Amino acid sequence: MLPLLLLAVPVLGLEVFPSHGHVRAIRFEAEGAVVTTAGAEFRVPGLSRIDGPAEWGGCRYETTEAGVRRRCGSRDELVPVGGFAASGVAVHRGELFVGTYGGGLRRLYGGRVGGIPDSVTTLAATTGGLLCGTEDGLYRLGPKGVERLDPPSLPAPNVSALATGGGALWIASFDGGLAALDEGHWHRWTKADGLPSDWIDDLAYDGDKLWGATEKGIFWLAQGRVVRPETEDLRRPTSALFAAEGRMYLAQAGRVLVLSADGMRAVEIPEKHPQRVWADGGEIWVAGLRGLYRVRGETVTRFGAAQKQLPADWVTAIAPWEGGFLVGTYDGGLVHLSADGAPRPVLDKAWVNLGALAAKDGRVAVGEMDGGLWLQDGGAWRHLRREDGLPSNDVTALAFEKDSLWIGTREGLARLTLEDLKHAQGAATGEDTDRIALRLSGALGAE
């Protein structure tokens, strides 16, 4: 098994867990093949290049956007490969193979090779078989057929949600399904394993099992296997989940479904596009495109910009704090909403990403769309960007766990130790006054 690759920024203790999804190039060194991906580089030892395939059978072959160009003496012709652009040609076991964008790996004079993704980015014939770099990882066509050669790593770089529970970190993706990091080992589930969709909107752990929300309904994991409910209501598009006190809350268009040992009940809400849901006792809170809603029994109260309670109506994230809520919005930034609905600004003009807000034990983390990560741990704010070691400035998911903060982005996963965060806070000299209205400690505490 190849080792997990970690990239670290020593000053902050920031570890980056790269994704090896999109293979960009393959080169060869004395130790073997070196594969360059969107996340990092890794080696496949013991594989040496086999010369070719510029010439084969007395003809010369070149890739084009319309297929493969073949030149045999004075004869020049185009060999189409299913109407797809060619990314590479290589000889394997006496046959000429073509990698294509959209049509997978194909024999030039034959059909498509099964088991390899649609978009092949590069080919290389080696002593151990034909290496196929794709937009979904590295594959090899060898004597035993097709096998995947990626090292254990984050399966998909586009992180949409994070959850912790059962001793594992659970990572949802916008396009790559579900992954789990459990004691240094990666596990993955996709539509091929039973997921309703590879686009997962939210995750929640109920103390026993993991739940996921997708546009095609919910699922959960039971002993590592994907389970989809048969109930039609649970197969409707579901955008957000929350688990508390033996109940599971599912946010759908116009309602929140509450699942418990007593069965299922629906709570109607005037929001067709719920973003996040939270519940405590007899209250349910729903963040949506038109504001923040509180449901108490039969009474629904809306908090919004027109009431001067929020800086913007598009609410993307909520987290309980100091008897009220931290409320994240697109463009309007982050505010604290007290129990009586009084707002106090925290981060001004921040584009808080969907669900990218975490608050625990006096610490707050806020993820922005293309704006990086904001951190506060009892001192001045700290602002981290790509140049500080983040995989991306588009921070999409956050989760505190023990002594770490997990950070999901559009280009991978990172972990920041809280001890290093505390040192970084102590070293911070002040605030970015053009972005921050108030220190969080001042906003929520006595002035």
Q: Dmax of the chain from CA atoms? A: 86
In 3D, which of 16, 3, 36 has the Cα closest to residue 408? Answer: 16
DSSP state of 145: E
Instruction: Look up residue 397 and give its two tokens.
Output: 């998911």
Supply the pLDDT for residue 429.
42
What is the structure's pLDDT at 422? 61
Buried b (16+ CB within 10 A) or exposed e, 294-315: bbeeeebebbbeeeebbbbbbb
Chain-centre distance for alpha carbon 199: 9
pLDDT of residue 424: 53
**In DSSP terms, which residues pair with 222 in a beta bridge?**
225
pLDDT number for residue 184: 78
- Kind and range of the H or E element at 424? helix 418-427
pLDDT > 70 in the chain, percent: 88
Q: 159-444 domain in CATH 3.30.499.10?
A: no
pLDDT at 443: 30
**Residue 43 pLDDT more than 90?**
no
Helix (H) or strand (E) holding 427: helix 418-427
Per-residue pLDDT band at 30 (split at 50, 70, 90): confident
User: Where do runs of H (alpha helix) occur along 255-396?
Assistant: none
Angle at 234 between CA 229 and CA 237, to 5 degrees: 125
Q: 444 or 143: which carries more pLDDT confidence?
A: 143
Q: What is the pLDDT of residues 259-286, one digit of tens each?
A: 999 999 999 999 999 999 999 978 999 9
More confidently predicted of 184 and 190:
190
pLDDT for 340-373, tens place per residue? 889 999 988 889 999 999 999 889 999 999 999 9
> Is the model more confident about 94 or about 2?
94
Cis peptide before 196 (omega within 30 of 0): no
What residues does each domain of the chain span?
Answer: 21-148, 159-444
Q: What angle do CA 214, 241, 195 make, to 5 degrees?
A: 30
Q: Is the pLDDT of residue 98 over 50?
A: yes
* Residue 18 pLDDT: 66
